[in-house]
Amino acid sequence: MSNPINTPAATKTTPGQVDVRGPRFTAWVTSGVLAGVLLASAISSALAAVLLGLQAAVFAVGAWGGPRRHPYGWVFRRLVSPRLGPVTATEPVPPLKFAQLVGLVFAVVGTAGFAAGIPGLGLAATGLALVAALLNAAFGICLGCQLHPLVARLRPGVSADPLVAS
């Protein structure tokens, strides 16, 4: 899991925290896009490369800007969240940004594979990203968030504690 912090009395999130439902919504949309890439690859590697390249751009925005600037996060905040009950659990932003960076790496590798005429590489990278997105969407297991503390320990001056902003 992505270590949500239960805050039953909370009605809004703090700057270093986001509503856990937002990243799960984002993971569902991402899963749909990645499944579309796999379907498109049966028609055209070029089409798959374009679609996956667009998803890579979305991952890049999420990796550098965080969940609040993520395009799918914007849709969640503007259209979905107002129809839901109050925030009951939050999670820290840095692991989510790292997870988006991991998704970006897979999307770039997959895009390069499709564009270079190596569809097996494109399919493998897209498939791995899809598995990660589905785990987060369906079960709340964020693989990138789980890796974040391990990678953070390797970087000097960065806290492995997900509650400390990096």
Residue ranges of the domains in the chain?
A: 19-154
**For 19, which DSSP code?**
E
DSSP-based three-state secondary structure for 39: helix
What's the pLDDT at 24?
94
Cβ neighbors of 148 (< 8 A, separation 6 or more) are 94, 95, 98, 99, 160, 162
The pLDDT tens digits of the residues spanning 111-159 come to 999 999 999 999 999 999 999 999 999 999 998 889 988 888 887 765 5
Those residues of the chain that have pLDDT short of 70 are 1-13, 157-166
Sheet bearing 17-19, strands edge to edge: 5-6, 89-92, 17-19
